Amino acid sequence: MEGPFINPHFKGAQPEEHIIAPSIDLVKRWHELSGNRVRLITYAPEQAADVRAFEDYLADNNIIGSVGHSNATRDFLQHNSKASHITHLYNAQRPMSHREPGVTGHAMLEDNIRTELIVDGFHVYPDMVNVAYKLKTANRIDLITDSMRAKGLGDGESELGGQKVWVKDKQARLADGTLAGSVLEFDDAFRNIMAFTGASIEEAIQMASVNQAVEFGLDTKGTLRIGKDADLNVFSADLSALEATYSLGRHFSKADAPTAEA
């Protein structure tokens, strides 16, 4: 879950009227309604009345607390938060500067913190992706897309949370120009992380698959081993084309994709 426990100052494309302070009671209700399937919640720790109690509740219920859409200072996070995950590093958070490290600097400095990265070249400048790669290493980066419903549909008008979104040149934006998620496809994120950083294909796989499986305790996912789910993508030799996908050992190709006529 990304929101609604965020800071309005860094709301991004989230509707401000739905933003509220972190609430244990609400998390408990949502977790129960989901059949205990909530696994990660983004929140702004500085917005909590008792951030330690909130984080303890998340930990006790096997929910990962992820700092995001936050205006927390490095000092606040050091002394008040135990979070070990950061939602889309650099984006919608107090930035790093020479006067105050912010959320971004805190994530860079703490070796135990895992960071998400939107590697589309728009949310984060490629050289800044490389900075994160050098400081966090492939072991502490989770590639994400942050994609919204317009992914794969080309340029045009769409919607996000009741707000109109315009997609142009592979960027999704609100009327005021705010990035509204992305239309990044994951195979492009996989290629981009190597192009932006010089990461090896093994490291790209680590950031695209292995890290997430480890963090969420998905013992049958993330790697190809006997007894694990046979989930994999097949690329051309130069990685320029995604040729096939296997899910639980079942082969899918472009021919299996639904058509407009269907």
Kind of pairing, strands 114-118 and 141-144? parallel
CA atoms within 13 Å, Cβ hemisphere of 4: 11
Q: Give just the sign of the alpha carbon dihedral 195, 200, 206, 209.
A: positive
Show Cβ contacts of residue 156 under 8 Å, excluding neighbours closer than 6 positions. Answer: 150, 166, 167
> Is residue 160 classed exposed, middle or buried when 0-12, 13-18 and 19+ CB atoms within 10 A define those classes?
middle
Q: How many CB atoms lie within 10 A of CB 201?
A: 11
Catalytic status, residue 256: no
3-state secondary structure of 53: helix
Show the tokens assigned to 144: 């994400």
Options 56, 60, 127, 146, the catalytic residue = 146
Q: Is residue 66 a contact partner of residue 42, using CB atoms and an 8 Å limit?
A: yes
Q: In the chain, which residue ranges form alpha helices assigned H by DSSP?
A: 24-33, 51-60, 74-80, 102-109, 126-136, 186-197, 201-205, 211-215
Helices 186-197 and 126-136 cross at an angle (nearest 10°) of: 80
Catalytic residues, by residue number, are 146
